[in-house]
Amino acid sequence: MNESFKALADPTRRQIIRLLREKDRTAGEIADFFNMSKPSISHHLNALKHADLVQDERKGQFIMYSLNTTVLEEVLGWLLELTGTGKQTETESKSLDGKQQHQDIDSKKEAD
């Protein structure tokens, strides 16, 4: 998930995510929205691909880029948990329950 946050830290990459939310696009279509070179756009797309936020698929002579919504949902779920508005995974819930039980035992020992 660290790679996802690193990729999303850049405003150009966040804008690319917004564009791909609307529809799948080629690198050229994405580049049309920016005032930068195509190699720079390619660099940003590679960073998003490395973070697994974007997928690419060759269609004829073009490469179409699309969002990997699974990874985006994972990042969003983590952020929602952090703010207390999301739900915890079963593993996290068990881990927290175990910590709470440990704290309860420690508190009981201190009271005795």
Residue 103 included in any domain: no
85: DSSP letter: -
Which has the closest alpha carbon to 41: 72, 63, 60?
63
Indicate the pTM of the whole model.
0.70
On the CB side of 92, CA atoms within 13 Å amount to 8
Alpha-carbon gap, residue 14 to 27, rounded angstroms: 15
Q: Quick one: 51 exposed, middle or buried, by C-beta within 10 A (0-12, 13-18, 19+)?
A: buried
Domain that residue 50 falls in: 1-83
Residue 99 included in any domain: no
The crossing angle, in degrees rounded to 10, of helices 38-50 and 11-22 is: 80
Number of domains in the chain: 1
Top pLDDT among 110 and 29 is at 29
Residue 112 included in any domain: no
Residue 59 included in any domain: yes
pLDDT, tens digit, 9 for 90 and up, residues 55-96: 999 999 999 999 998 888 898 898 899 888 866 555 555 555
